[in-house]
Structure 1
Amino acid sequence: MLLALAVAAVVWSLHGTGVNGANALAGWSGAREFAAGLIPPRFEGEFLRSVAAAVLETLQISIAALFLGVAMGLALSVPMAGNMGAPVWLAAGARLLAAVLRSVPELLWALLFVAVVGLGPAAGVYAISLHAAGLLAKLVSEQLEAVDPDPVEALRLTGASGFTVGMLSILPQARTGIASLVLYQWECNIRSSAIVGFVGAGGIGQAMGISMHLFRYRDLATLVLALLLLVLAVDQVSRSLRTRMGAVTHSLAPRRSRGPFGRR
């Protein structure tokens, strides 16, 4: 029954959104012309220097937004977690605030902050950090609630305070999962900065938006390649940090099969 409902929901959604092969094939000629305009990318020295500056600004936006988002998200996640023992009114208020922050897309936050602080990377930092705070608050609180309850109860039976229980039992169990979430949010911030840049919030996204509006498709191709390289580099750094923190488990190499009597 569940499978039938899932299939029915997919068919209903595809039909309601008009997704079919006919409209995809109808726009194929326009897609070919657009793709042809991207080749070859532009690699002149002066332009590459401007691309490098945009990449560095995007990296700065992602790191600054990560710092602010983690600070706000962790502050909200602690009262949201049921096993932290926060008052009901505080937990409910934190959940409501986190839901509001993550329900508003980064693009809408960016439009608001562009109107408040003006064009530039500061608007992008504020926009991304607010959305990241709401998302991290939910995910981190779930990590805190998913820890093994036995050590938590054992520490509480000794008469330890709620703060001590959280610092010595809950957080140590959840720290690798929290670290993994924070590093993944950093990768998301890179992609989000490219999106909010289209409304003037700085970074490589702003340069991409200008190139598209001026029909400079060769410039756009170079910017897309630069963004791709930045995402791959951040992904590699993130994986390396997760490995050092113990958030990545290395699988053992498969052994050769043995017979029933131990012979190969």
Structure 2
Amino acid sequence: MSDQISLPVAPRMRTSTKALLIGIVLLVIASFVSLSLKWQAFFSKEAIDTTIEFLRGFSPPEMATPFLARIAEATLETLAMSAIGTLLAALFGMLLCLFASGRFGLALRLITRGILNVLRSIPELVWAAILLIAAGLGPFAGTLALAIHTTGVLGRLFADTLENCPPHSEDTLRLNGVRPSAAFLYATLPHCSPQMMSYVLYRWENNIRAAAILGVVGAGGLGQMLKYHLSLFQMHQAATVIIAMLLLVCVVDATSFALRRKMTR
């Protein structure tokens, strides 16, 4: 008879972990108790009838050729805002992550991570509202808002990726006389670049959605068209803008997913 393979004993859950889980559950319960959630009013017959009547106003979408041409122009503007904002964020995030990963000392690490925390803690809409004062209405302010917020996100993700990267390859090169910069470029960076590019593509997906919303504060693109037509109760035109947003997000999501899967393989 063959000896039975004994499985290792599962590690016991630490007290701090149990306390954290209990705290999260209590926080969720307290959130439901403190909020006045009127589910009965939301699903009442009057609310449902009002919602159906409102949605009927969007049908049929506006399909006139001049209006579709404006939609196409706004779609390209939204796509350009997200692409340029993500590209700028990737460049600045890559620069800041070198300091945030602790490669230049603990003091610079703490300072840089503090800056990244501030950049990503302020939402894109708030950045856009602030920048509109200096840059004026249009896509320029929206692009800068996306770039600033995404720099904070990507800088943190890039720094964590570098910190979690196994140091053996870089250390081997440095022990053999290779300069630290060259060892980083030829050992650590190639190992981390697929994960970093995956983060960039994922944030590009998010920035497409954010760019479509930034127009609400006057930052151009499809969002600005949507706000304009909704404010005038032009529901047929607003329906076309919403459809364009959905199609743009679907196309970018599919493209980004295909690129991420190809790179991670």
Query: Fold conserved (TM > 0.5)?
Result: yes
**Corresponding residue for 2:172?**
154
Aligned counterpart for 2:54 among listed residues 22, 34, 42: 34
Change in Cα spacing, 1:20 to 1:174, as seen in structure 2 (3 Å) is: farther
| Aligned amino acid, residue 9 of structure 1 | L
Which position in structure 1 is the counterpart of 2:6?
none
CA RMSD of aligned residues (A): 1.8
Shift of 1:80: 0.8
Deviations 1:13-72 (A, max 9, x none): 122233352242254333222212122211111111111111011011111111211111
Instruction: Quote the residue 2:257 is aligned against.
Output: 239
TM-score by length of 1: 0.86
1:75 paired with 2:95, answer yes
Structure 2 residue aligned with 1:62 = 82
2:184 is aligned to 166
Shift in CA distance, 149/221, structure 1 to aligned 2, threshold 3 Å? same
After superposition, the Cα gap between the structure-2 partners of 1:5 and 1:78, relative to the gap in structure 1 and judged at 3 Å, is same
- Farther off after superposition, 165-174 or 147-156: 147-156
Q: Which TM-score applies when normalising by structure 2?
A: 0.86
CA distance in 1, matches of 2:104, 2:21: 39
Q: List gaps (5 residues or longer) in structure 1.
A: 250-264
Partner Cα separation in structure 2 for residue 15 and residue 34 of structure 1: 31
Whole-Å Cα distance in 2 between the matches of residues 23 and 10 of structure 1? 22
1:196 to 211, 214, 228: 214
Indicate which of 44, 49, 60 corresponds to 2:64. Answer: 44
Per the alignment, residue 150 of structure 2 pairs with: 132
Whole-angstrom distance in 1 between the partners of 2:175 and 2:158: 25
The CA deviation at 1:3 is: 4.8
Percent identical: 36
Segment of structure 1 superposing worse, 133-142 or 28-37: 28-37
Q: What residue in structure 2 maps to residue 98 of structure 1?
A: 116
Aligned partner of residue 19 in structure 1, secondary structure: coil
Shift of the 6–204 alpha-carbon distance from structure 1 to 2, 3 Å rule, reads same
The structure 2 residue matched to 1:184, chosen from 202, 205, 221, is 202
Matched letter for residue 182 of structure 2: T
How has the CA–CA distance of structure 1 residues 158 and 20 changed in structure 2, closer, same or farther, with 3 Å as cutoff? farther
Q: How many residues align?
A: 245
Segments of structure 2 that go 5 or more residues without pairing to the other structure are 1-17
Q: Distance in 1 between matches of 2:196 and 2:98?
A: 12
Look up the SS of the partner of 1:193 in the other structure: helix
Taking structure 1 as reference, are residues 3 and 87 closer, same or farther at Cα in structure 2, changes over 3 Å only?
closer
Q: 1:157 to 1:223 in 2, by over 3 A?
A: same
Look up the SS of the partner of 1:79 in the other structure. helix
Q: Which runs of 4+ in 1 moved over 6 A?
A: none
